[in-house]
Chain A
Amino acid sequence: MKVGIVCPYDWNVPSGVAIHVHDLAEALIGLGLEVEVLAPGEESDDIADYVTIAGRSLPVPYNGSVARVSFGPRSASRVRKWIREGDFDVLHVHSPVTPSLGMMACWSALGPIVATFHAAIDGRSRMMSGGAWILQATLEKVRARIAVSEEARRTVVEHLGGDAVLVPNGVDAQRFAVAMPRPEWSGRGTIAFLGRVDESRKGLQVLLEALPAIADAHPSARLLVAGPGETDAVHALPDDLRQRVELLGRVSEADKAALLSSVDLYVAPHIGGESFGIVLLEAMAAGSPVLASDLPAFRDVLDGGRCGALFRTGDAGALARAAADLLADAPRRERLAAAGAGRAAEFDWGRVARQVMAVYETVGAQGEKVREDDRQGPGMFAGRLRWRPSADPGDPADSPGASPPEVAGTGGHPPDGGSPRREGSSR
């Protein structure tokens, strides 16, 4: 089976969705599928053979973050060419409501199309902008919808209508499980934080506010902060607290795994905007007990608190109490870590990719190929009129006859409704 996967976000800039597409592609190749990926980005030598770069991405500010997406007539024609030449059995589009390559691929293709909805914000309020009919007609072509979390699925049901099957995000559980602890990151009362330090929704400020109370209860407590960005909040701390905080900056994937396997506790104090919580799973796979804010997405990943402790989102006092209790209770930490490791194994990429493959097999069961849609751009006028008799299967929609008129000036531009979104990701 040959699958074409479309990533809407820049391939060279790590984002939740781009990493998901990369890991999924690798896992599917591991299962013996033929995979090609189309993504925006820069051409370079270290990009894998199966990736086609559709052109440069443009940074579009959204929600205090920047989404790097690609649109315009040149990208549109590359999308068409990729679909025409790909000869795919299944087209798998990620975030089709983000105005980028995914949406254009839906427009340009016919046949077995699968779409994955990542963020809870995919679609919300979009349906109310002027682009609603474009979205509707785009989504009509999608034969199977996948949501990566209950949260994302709820949004699909509420805002786009219909349903989606839940296939969770994957985690490379094995890589984290075998990571070796490092002495400099171990020690009694060591807490880890991961994520951009200057993005308030990652919640570092909540953890720093809780730190004095944690330090009172555990004199040896210290905090390791791994993540890019600049912040004054740490430098502004009084000296005795400042000494307890170590800023590691941006860490490599290997260092992240080692860090998570070293510490006594991983804290995820996010205050919102998360639709999945992949870092939580990574921490769990590495064997670290998890303490997280009770966002719906985190609650789902932690199975309601069975596989990790939860505290009220944004409540520094509650965080301090929960962290102090956990640091004082080694047996409970061990229990949580064991339950967490088991939970993380359920999200291993090999397992997740097999579930995605079952979806491919369902939409591709009739052997229909993905082909180019000969309408140009949002060509709602460019169809053919045909009264159908009641039972007329097997006759493809593309009957010979009038060639579709081209609508002037719609050469694949994205709709003007709504701005591209940075998808909720904890990376």
Chain B
Amino acid sequence: MSGWEWVLLLLVLPLLFLALYIRGLAARLDRLHLRVEASEAVLDARLERRAALTKEVALEVGLDPASAVLLLDAASAAQHSERSAEARAIAESDLSAALRAVFADDESVTDLADDPESRASLTDLAEVCVGAALARRFANDAVRAAIAVRRRGIVRALHLAGHADWPQNRDLDDAPPEALSRFALDSA
């Protein structure tokens, strides 16, 4: 090879590697965005189902009227909250607190579960409460991973994220009612 070809090669090779690197980074980011979207969709579906099941349980399992109204109010608020992330998080956290307050001790849960139909609804509710908490952990994990890549200088400089929204952590209190979870695990 002549001298010129060497010079050309030395110029082109680094550029080629850079291009491949950027290409890989973009694909990785793309995948991370999909993971964020998918995990958030699961979380939203679980939260919606939680509110719906709470209403069902409130009306069906033979709760005292005060407990029933507490749950119905909290569940409706969660279903009809404004679409702003903040309002929604507050409503969902309130629902978590209401569920914990109503299903506070093992004894009351076991009593309610005497009837087989109630038992099934309570188990479903317990599962979706735990499921929502899991989904939120996994969604936030995806958000964190996506942000880690999006913070990189090269990603920002080259606008590799396109118009995708900046991923947002979902902060809300989703601690499940423990007595209910225990009941579901033991009775399954």
By a beta-carbon cutoff of 8 Å, the part of chain A in contact with chain B is: 110, 136-137, 139-141, 143-145, 161-163, 165, 351, 354-355, 358-359, 361-363, 365-366, 368, 379-390, 393, 396-397, 405
Verify B27–A365 contact, CB threshold 8 A. Answer: no
Complex Cα–Cα for A141 and B37 (A): 14
B84-133 contacts to A (CB < 8 Å):
127, 130-131
- Residues of chain B with a CB closer than 8 A to A366's CB: 38, 41-42
| Given A362-B131, A380-B28, 17 extra CB contacts under 8 A | A110-B31, A139-B145, A140-B35, A143-B142, A144-B137, A144-B141, A358-B130, A362-B42, A362-B134, A362-B135, A365-B135, A379-B24, A383-B28, A387-B26, A389-B162, A390-B165, A397-B30
State how many angstroms separate the Cβ of B7 from the closest Cβ of chain A: 24
- Residues of chain A with a CB closer than 8 A to B26's CB: 383-387
Complex Cα–Cα for A385 and B33 (A): 14
- Residues of chain B with a CB closer than 8 A to A382's CB: 20, 24
Given A140, A161, A165, which contacts B137 in the complex, CB threshold below 8 Å?
Answer: A165
* Nearest-neighbor residue (CB-CB) of B186 within chain A: A351
Q: Is B140 an interface residue (CB 8 A)?
A: yes
Interface size class of chain B, counting residues whose CB lies under 8 Å from the partner chain: 35 or more
Complex Cα–Cα for A385 and B27 (A): 6
Verify B185–A140 contact, CB threshold 8 A. Answer: no
Given A143, A379, A381, A386, which contacts B138 in the complex, CB threshold below 8 Å?
Answer: A143
* Nearest-neighbor residue (CB-CB) of B24 within chain A: A383
Verify A383–B23 contact, CB threshold 8 A. Answer: yes
* Nearest-neighbor residue (CB-CB) of B35 within chain A: A143
Given A162, A354, A381, A383, which contacts B144 in the complex, CB threshold below 8 Å?
Answer: A162
Verify B28–A140 contact, CB threshold 8 A. Answer: yes
Complex Cα–Cα for A316 and B165 (A): 59
State how many angstroms separate the Cβ of A158 from the closest Cβ of chain B: 14
Complex Cα–Cα for A363 and B138 (A): 8
Map CB proximity to A onto B161-182 as digits: 1 under 8 Å, 0 otherwise.
1111100000000000000000
- Residues of chain B with a CB closer than 8 A to A351's CB: 185-186
Complex Cα–Cα for A383 and B159 (A): 17
- Residues of chain B with a CB closer than 8 A to A385's CB: 22-23, 26-27
* Nearest-neighbor residue (CB-CB) of A393 within chain B: B37
Verify B24–A381 contact, CB threshold 8 A. Answer: yes
Most chain B beta-carbon neighbours within 10 Å: one of A384, A390, A397, A405? A397
* Nearest-neighbor residue (CB-CB) of A161 within chain B: B144
Verify B24–A386 contact, CB threshold 8 A. Answer: no
Complex Cα–Cα for A387 and B27 (A): 9
Q: Is B34 an interface residue (CB 8 A)?
A: yes
- Residues of chain B with a CB closer than 8 A to A145's CB: 141
Most chain B beta-carbon neighbours within 10 Å: one of A362, A379, A384? A362
Verify A390–B164 contact, CB threshold 8 A. Answer: yes
- Residues of chain B with a CB closer than 8 A to A144's CB: 134, 137-138, 141
Given B39, B161, B164, B188, which contacts A354 in the complex, CB threshold below 8 Å?
Answer: B188
Verify B33–A161 contact, CB threshold 8 A. Answer: no
- Residues of chain B with a CB closer than 8 A to A393's CB: 34, 37-38, 41
Given B35, B148, B162, which contacts A161 in the complex, CB threshold below 8 Å?
Answer: B148
Question: Given the interface contacts A162-B141, A390-B163, does A365 sit within 8 Å of B45 by beta carbon?
Answer: yes
- Residues of chain A with a CB closer than 8 A to B134's CB: 144, 165, 358-359, 362
State how many angstroms separate the Cβ of A200 from the closest Cβ of chain B: 37
State how many angstroms separate the Cβ of A166 from the closest Cβ of chain B: 10
Verify B137–A163 contact, CB threshold 8 A. Answer: yes
Complex Cα–Cα for A361 and B42 (A): 10
State how many angstroms separate the Cβ of B94 from the closest Cβ of chain A: 23
State how many angstroms separate the Cβ of B60 from the closest Cβ of chain A: 23
Nearest 9 A/B pairs, CB to CB: A383-B27, A390-B163, A381-B20, A383-B24, A385-B23, A388-B162, A365-B42, A362-B134, A380-B24
Verify A143–B164 contact, CB threshold 8 A. Answer: no
Given B20, B25, B38, which contacts A405 in the complex, CB threshold below 8 Å?
Answer: B20
Question: Given the interface contacts A351-B185, A358-B130, does A397 sit within 8 Å of B20 by beta carbon?
Answer: no
Complex Cα–Cα for A307 and B25 (A): 50
- Residues of chain B with a CB closer than 8 A to A397's CB: 27, 30-31, 34
Question: Given the interface contacts A143-B39, A354-B188, does A387 sit within 8 Å of B162 by beta carbon?
Answer: yes
- Residues of chain B with a CB closer than 8 A to A380's CB: 21, 24, 28
Given B21, B25, B127, B149, which contacts A358 in the complex, CB threshold below 8 Å?
Answer: B127
Q: Is B58 an interface residue (CB 8 A)?
A: no
State how many angstroms separate the Cβ of B65 from the closest Cβ of chain A: 32
Q: Is B32 an interface residue (CB 8 A)?
A: yes
State how many angstroms separate the Cβ of B11 from the closest Cβ of chain A: 19
Given A141, A384, A388, which contacts B163 in the complex, CB threshold below 8 Å?
Answer: A388
Q: Is B17 an interface residue (CB 8 A)?
A: yes
Question: Given the interface contacts A365-B45, A380-B21, does A386 sit within 8 Å of B30 by beta carbon?
Answer: yes
State how many angstroms separate the Cβ of A126 from the closest Cβ of chain B: 17
Complex Cα–Cα for A405 and B34 (A): 23
Map CB proximity to A onto B34-59 as digits: 1 under 8 Å, 0 otherwise.
11011101100110000000000000
Given B23, B135, B142, which contacts A381 in the complex, CB threshold below 8 Å?
Answer: B23
Verify A381–B30 contact, CB threshold 8 A. Answer: no
State how many angstroms separate the Cβ of A192 from the closest Cβ of chain B: 30
- Residues of chain A with a CB closer than 8 A to B21's CB: 380-381
- Residues of chain A with a CB closer than 8 A to B41's CB: 366, 393
* Nearest-neighbor residue (CB-CB) of A167 within chain B: B134
